A and B are shown apart, each in its own frame.
Chain A
């Protein structure tokens, strides 16, 4: 295939250059220069992605560019190369686009913080790895990106590493991800063993020759489930979701970029990318669907009781990721990727808006100490409203289209999945409007107006007036102290994302988005999926019109019910939630404490592991290994201690030893000579 080279390698390399410049020399640069480098290189990657999009329709997809041989071992050859098809194009645009907006926002949000250059260096590093991940043309290059984003995530969660909770949250995220990566790696080894390659083209080519494994066991099922373990780690699904809520210790732009819009969706992307394998392993698909559905519902219930504005959004993210896995699990990959995209818009927006709220009230994150902010920070309010309505699934906002599509696809496979999905949609709507009412309506319950306490900012940098910096973008009459709207540089990304959250779903009107993605998911489709799709299609044609409308109405009804319930509980009758919580005391406490899963994991895994590690450390390492070495050394030293008295430095004692030795030799010779 001789195709023109698009120089895809430039896309990930650009942010890497930015990361290197800022990381190596950023300390000496002014904040303005650091911001320009960080945002500039990310923007360049975005521009490059747009250029690739403009060329996309003249290309012969999938467009593969290989640059160098990386590993050659026996028959296994792995190249460093990139793979461009409709799927990676969508991911490319989402990652660079949303990433670019969040970079801009970060300039405003992080301006007062120490380690400004470090922040942008990490952020650009993250972009490099994320772009490597989505562009990879084999599993191993993907794995570099996969591990790299984990590293960047660790660095950014622990950005305020002097705070103990942030440092341990970073470790928790990293270690939990390692468990998932273990599954991913074993899947890769299985692929190498059986197909002798990791390149997408070759593996999928070989796999598409195989029949579907209907028996519920087999190589592809194993690979599929192991890949799902990896995806569960990265995308925070049951049972490895526990790190994501803690990851909120990181700065809010990080939560928006990594832990909502891009990195956590890598698992969904990976499952969608491996659709050829999953299509032939119905059991693995069922596992994906069930894990996704349960996670979606489970995380949503926790989200109801959280009081920290970022924690609500974190559980919401887990829940929405569950939807995406549900979509992949019913083989509706396009719907999953569509939801991934709209979710990147509205969840990125919600996090950034939450950051703006936190900024406004001086670092307070507890919603119980917010309220009535609607008039005080109007831009944030309106953008957050757009995000809330979008995630709740109100038509015609983005979340409505994607969520509705997923639920519709799920209903064609299994009504139970659909039912839980609808219930989750209702819960989603409820907890989001709870957040919305608590934050923006009612009376202000916090103390920021008087004291302007900077909980988040305190200790990381002094919250100075912003009028001295970047006059064009930041001169907004910032009053020192009191509730204040964020600077323009933070509001512009909010507004753009709000527009995307409103309009982002329209691309799928008439299923255009899914038609665009379809070629990427047609590669190597099986007889199994094709016939099933065909029968479903014929079945659907007759009833689709009315049934789909019915399902849509149900979804909208769920969203409206959620809104009404939230309005009732948190706007109309603010005394009711306390009474309900008291009435459901045990359940409420359990939900408030996240079902004690962290405690359960601590008892089941962490404590035994630490105890085992301690005993390995103290007994085996210090006792046995160090002990052997130390004992040998001690024995030698003791022996030497005794023997060294022979070497007194006294000539006569040496002479004595010589005489004794000579006498012994003579005695021996005489004894030998005697008959």
Chain B
């Protein structure tokens, strides 16, 4: 059995990777993926704790997060496509105007 701190450290590393990616990347899709990474890092800690404490609510939370993440991915990717159609770029630094 893998001890709990291992999962938590991995979760922290994943989350930190997500934050770093979010902060330093220019490409919208990469940023989007970083957000997903952060969500999944959190998910990992949820399931780790749930398994450790034998509590079902942790598992339920993870499902909720995955549902929300899926919905977010659908909306987010649609927006990204719309942005690319109008701006012909995915560089966030060039997408700084709400209205053209």
Contact = CB atoms under 8 A, between A and B. Distances in A.
Interface of A: 649, 651-652, 655-656, 659
Contacts of B19: 655, 659
11 contacts: A649-B96, A651-B92, A652-B22, A652-B23, A652-B92, A655-B19, A655-B22, A655-B23, A656-B23, A659-B19, A659-B23
B18 to A, nearest CB: 10
Contacts of A655: 19, 22-23
A649 B96 CA distance: 9
A649 B97 CA distance: 11
A350 B23 CA distance: 97
A659 to B, nearest CB: 5
Nearest to B25: A652
A190 B92 CA distance: 82
A655 B19 CA distance: 9
Contacts of B92: 651-652
Shortest 4 CB-CB contacts between residues of A and residues of B: A659-B19, A656-B23, A652-B23, A655-B23
Contacts of A649: 96
Contacts of A656: 23
Given A652-B23, A655-B22, 9 more contacts: A649-B96, A651-B92, A652-B22, A652-B92, A655-B19, A655-B23, A656-B23, A659-B19, A659-B23
Contacts of B96: 649
Nearest to A666: B12
Which residue, of A649, A651, A652, A659, has the highest number of chain B Cβ atoms within 10 A? A652
Interface magnitude class on chain B: under 10
A659 B92 CA distance: 19
B36 to A, nearest CB: 15
Nearest to B22: A655
A663 to B, nearest CB: 9
B25 to A, nearest CB: 9
A664 to B, nearest CB: 14
Contacts of B22: 652, 655
A656 B21 CA distance: 11
A649 B22 CA distance: 16
Contacts of B23: 652, 655-656, 659
A652 B22 CA distance: 8
Interface in B76-97: 92, 96
B41 to A, nearest CB: 13
A659 B20 CA distance: 9
A656 B96 CA distance: 18
A651 B95 CA distance: 11
A652 B23 CA distance: 6
A649 B92 CA distance: 13
A371 B5 CA distance: 122
Contacts of A659: 19, 23
B26 to A, nearest CB: 9
A544 B79 CA distance: 123
A652 B19 CA distance: 10
A656 B22 CA distance: 9
A311 to B, nearest CB: 80
Interface string B14-56: 0000010011000000000000000000000000000000000
A649 B19 CA distance: 19
A659 B18 CA distance: 11
Nearest to B26: A652
Contacts of A651: 92
A651 B96 CA distance: 9
A652 to B, nearest CB: 6
B94 to A, nearest CB: 13
A655 B22 CA distance: 8
B24 to A, nearest CB: 8
A656 B92 CA distance: 15
A658 to B, nearest CB: 9
